[in-house]
């Protein structure tokens, strides 16, 4: 029994029209007491509700938020995307290098290495792709194979090191020790060239789903004859919701 | 005599079930579904080429993954894209084979790992 409420109510009285104080009846006191008690309980309940809502909201905003994670590139179990991601580039580049090495096109008679230039790799997809992403992987593995070297003196824009030319301008510069400059006729011309294309084909299926096909096509051309010594194609197909956008 | 024959039979059984020395199952649960009968080797140009062959012994079309780790004469790993997991699938009760060419003329040793596919 909350006696403090009871005693406060006991002190209450009604002042009538003659300015006379009339104490409250017992029944009025009980009724008032119950009302005050009910209001207090309601207020407490509201306070508890508000504070617990604040805690839940804070937890939602902080504790339950998705944490940024690094991708395990060796065993990525995340779902596929309709566009091209690093897994697709790894797969396509890996297949191309395996196919090129297995074809025997890079077997030089004396065991020496071929000099390869990187020509154009066209992006014929609806996505913004830097084709160097694909070609770099191929270059790295071809160099590692010790069956070929890649020239950066000639080739498509992203594959040329302009320093090859710039450094030769130093031949006429008196500020440079001429014994340390690169002499004329030292650059090695390529014997082979790699070119390619990435094609995208979107198909809407009967059930409304979308099918996207990506074709990675590549050629190895012998530059003296213009004949393609090796060619291959890797296809990656994806099927997903019609609402998915692949560009 | 009977004991000898029994011993020989047991030895053959054990050897028959034993995995190839250059092939390992990452998850042994697939060893009941797929068998590895052998690994062929040859040299192409200056590069070693291997072909793993066996059979899908289960009654279902199955998907697997493989990767090959190549090492040089000193036992150092040679990194390459052929060390990434590659998918392969086999129809039920059907033989399979996949071939991989060494990533470098320095590659002399190898280990093939076969694993379950990633469901994605």
Q: Write the pLDDT tens digit of every residue in A78-106.
A: 888 899 999 999 999 999 999 999 999 99
Q: Which residues have C-beta within 8 Å of that of residue A170, sequence separation ≥ 6?
A: A176, A181, A182
Residue B104 structural domain: 21-115
Q: To which H or E segment does residue A100 belong?
A: helix A86-103
**Would you say residue B4 lies in a domain?**
no
Q: Are A232 and A92 in contact (CB under 8 A)?
A: no
Q: Tell me the nearest-neighbour CA distance from A180 into chain B, angstroms.
A: 34
| Among the partner residues B44, B79, B84, nearest to A104 by beta-carbon distance | B44
d(CA B17, CA B43): 28
Asked whether residue A47 carries a pLDDT value surpassing 70, the answer given is yes
Give the position of tokens 């009871």.
A6
Q: Tell me the nearest-neighbour CA distance from A56 into chain B, angstroms.
A: 34
Question: In degrees rounded to 5, what are phi and psi of residue A111?
Answer: 80, 5
Distance between terminal CA atoms of chain B? Answer: 55
CB-based contact (8 Å) between B99 and chain A? Answer: yes
Distance between terminal CA atoms of chain A? Answer: 72
d(CA B105, CA B83): 16
CB-based contact (8 Å) between B26 and chain A? Answer: no
Name the residue of chain A whose CA is nearest to B49's CA. A102
- CB spacing of A145 vs B105 below 8 angstroms: yes
| Among the partner residues A77, A107, A145, nearest to B103 by beta-carbon distance | A145
Asked whether residue A70 carries a pLDDT value surpassing 70, the answer given is yes
Helix (H) and strand (E) counts in chain A:
5, 7
Here the CATH number for the domain that contains residue B93 is 2.60.40.3230
pLDDT of A141-200, one tens digit each? 999 999 999 999 999 878 899 999 999 999 989 999 999 999 999 999 999 999 999 999
Q: Is the pTM of this model over 0.90?
A: no
Pairwise pLDDT comparison (A6 vs A47), residue with the higher score: A47
Name the residue of chain B whose CA is nearest to A110's CA. B45
Predicted complex ipTM: 0.81
Q: Which residues have C-beta within 8 Å of that of residue A103, sequence separation ≥ 6?
A: A229, A230
Q: Which residues have C-beta within 8 Å of that of residue A85, sequence separation ≥ 6?
A: none
pLDDT of B42-91, one tens digit each? 998 899 999 999 999 999 999 999 999 999 999 999 998 888 899 999 99
**Would you say residue B5 lies in a domain?**
no
Asked whether residue B15 carries a pLDDT value surpassing 50, the answer given is no
């Amino acid at each position: 029994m909350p006696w403090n409420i009871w005693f406060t109510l006991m002190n209450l009285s009604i002042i009538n029209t003659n300015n006379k104080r009339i104490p409250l009846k017992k029944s009025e006191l009980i009724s008032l007491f119950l009302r005050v008690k009910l209001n207090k309980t309601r207020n407490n309940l509201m306070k508890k509700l508000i504070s617990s809502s604040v805690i839940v909201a804070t937890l939602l905003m902080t504790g339950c938020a998705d944490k940024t994670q690094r991708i395990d590139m060796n065993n990525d179990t995340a779902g596929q995307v309709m566009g091209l991601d690093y897994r697709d580039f790894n797969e396509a580049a890996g297949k191309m290098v395996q196919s090129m090495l297995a074809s025997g096109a890079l077997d030089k008679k004396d065991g020496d290495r071929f000099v390869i230039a990187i020509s154009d790799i066209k992006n014929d997809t609806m996505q913004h792709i830097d084709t160097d992403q694909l070609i770099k992987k191929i270059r790295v593995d071809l160099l590692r194979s010790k069956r070929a070297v890649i020239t950066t003196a000639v080739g498509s824009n992203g594959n040329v090191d302009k320093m090859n030319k710039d450094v030769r301008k130093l031949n006429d510069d008196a500020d440079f020790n001429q014994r340390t400059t690169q002499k004329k006729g030292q650059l090695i011309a390529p014997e082979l060239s790699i070119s390619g294309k990435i094609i995208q084909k979107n198909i809407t299926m009967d059930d409304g789903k979308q099918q996207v096909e990506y074709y990675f096509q590549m050629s190895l051309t012998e530059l003296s004859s213009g004949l393609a010594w090796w060619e291959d194609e890797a296809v990656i197909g994806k099927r997903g919701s019609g609402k998915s956008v692949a560009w | 005599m009977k004991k000898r024959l029994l011993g020989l039979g047991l030895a053959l059984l054990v050897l028959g079930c034993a995995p190839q020395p250059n092939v390992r199952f990452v998850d042994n649960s697939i060893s009941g579904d797929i068998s590895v009968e052998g690994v062929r080797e040859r040299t192409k140009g200056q590069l070693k080429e291997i072909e793993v062959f066996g059979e899908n012994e289960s009654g279902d079309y199955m998907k697997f993954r493989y990767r090959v780790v190549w090492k040089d004469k000193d036992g150092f790993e040679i990194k390459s894209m052929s060390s990434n997991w590659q998918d392969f699938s086999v129809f039920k009760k059907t033989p399979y084979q996949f071939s991989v060419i060494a990533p470098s003329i320095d590659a002399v040793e190898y280990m093939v790992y076969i694993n379950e596919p990633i469901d994605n």
